[in-house]
């Protein structure tokens, strides 16, 4: 619970291609490099009282490219890189399955988000989604929430906001938070 018993909102963020450079099946911590504006953007979200929660598909585990323990080391490196900016992640949720496995946690299916809502005490009505792929945007849309595409490519599907810059996407989220609710 946040201030005065109000549950905080959250920004659900994709990892590869959104927070860090996408190297394709990242299996080594030395391959984690933050994209421009990420450290500052996450710090702004933290300061605004929004939880920052990573939701990531990591089918490299299910394909046998690397072990879950490698993912823990990679996420430690990600947290260290963010800490250099005075920023932090409130939680990281990962789907280790292959697309053909039909699990309930692979984006755009909302299983990991439901788990995070429960475990982190987050208010879905004050939550946003940021990512660089269609599945990230559909995840937000499937839950009736705003989603911003952090990418330079023009998608053939609708988005609430698009920018190639993560920091700009964070400013958009903060602008949404300041908008008055109701009619």
Domains defined along the chain, listed by start:
3-178 (3.40.50.1000)
Confidence of residue 3 (pLDDT cuts 50, 70, 90): low
Q: Which residue of the set 14, 22, 90, 101 is catalytic?
A: 14
pLDDT at 182: 45
pLDDT at 175: 95
Q: Which residue of the set 16, 22, 123, 132 is catalytic?
A: 16
Q: Is the pLDDT of residue 33 over 90?
A: yes
Query: Do 55 and 139 touch, CB atoms closer than 8 A?
Result: yes
pLDDT at 162: 96
Minimal CA–CA distance to 160: which of 181, 174, 140, 180?
140
Token output for 127: 């939550």
Cα angle 163-25-31, degrees, rounded to a multiple of 5: 75
Overall average pLDDT of the 12-22 stretch: 97
Q: Is the pLDDT of residue 181 over 80?
A: no
pLDDT at 105: 95
Confidence of residue 183 (pLDDT cuts 50, 70, 90): very low
Overall average pLDDT of the 98-105 stretch: 94
Query: Do 74 and 82 touch, CB atoms closer than 8 A?
Result: no
Query: pLDDT tens-digit profile of 42-94?
Result: 999 999 999 999 999 999 999 989 988 999 999 999 999 999 999 999 999 99
User: Is 16 a catalytic site residue?
Assistant: yes
DSSP 48: T
Q: Is the pLDDT of residue 14 over 60?
A: yes
Of the candidate ranges 3-12, 113-122, 156-165, the one whose mean pLDDT is the lowest: 3-12
User: Is 14 a catalytic site residue?
Assistant: yes
Query: pLDDT tens-digit profile of 138-180?
Result: 999 999 999 999 999 988 888 999 999 999 999 999 999 877 6
pLDDT at 16: 96
């Amino acid at each position: 619970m946040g201030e005065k018993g109000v549950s905080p909102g959250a920004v659900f963020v994709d990892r590869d291609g959104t927070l860090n450079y996408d190297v394709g099946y990242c299996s080594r911590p030395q391959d984690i490099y933050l994209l421009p504006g990420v450290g500052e953007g996450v710090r702004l979200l933290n300061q605004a009282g929004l939880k920052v929660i990573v939701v990531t598909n990591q089918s490299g585990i299910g394909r046998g490219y690397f072990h879950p323990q490698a993912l823990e080391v990679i996420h430690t490196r990600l947290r260290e890189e963010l800490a250099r900016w005075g920023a932090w992640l409130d939680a990281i949720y990962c789907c280790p399955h292959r697309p053909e496995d039909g699990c309930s946690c692979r984006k755009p299916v909302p299983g990991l988000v439901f788990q995070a809502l429960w475990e982190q005490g987050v208010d879905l009505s004050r939550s946003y989604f940021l990512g660089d792929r269609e599945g990230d945007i559909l995840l937000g849309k499937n839950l009736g929430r705003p989603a911003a595409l952090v990418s330079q490519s023009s998608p053939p599907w609708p988005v609430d906001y698009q920018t190639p810059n993560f920091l700009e996407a964070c400013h958009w989220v903060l602008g949404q938070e300041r908008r008055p609710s109701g009619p």
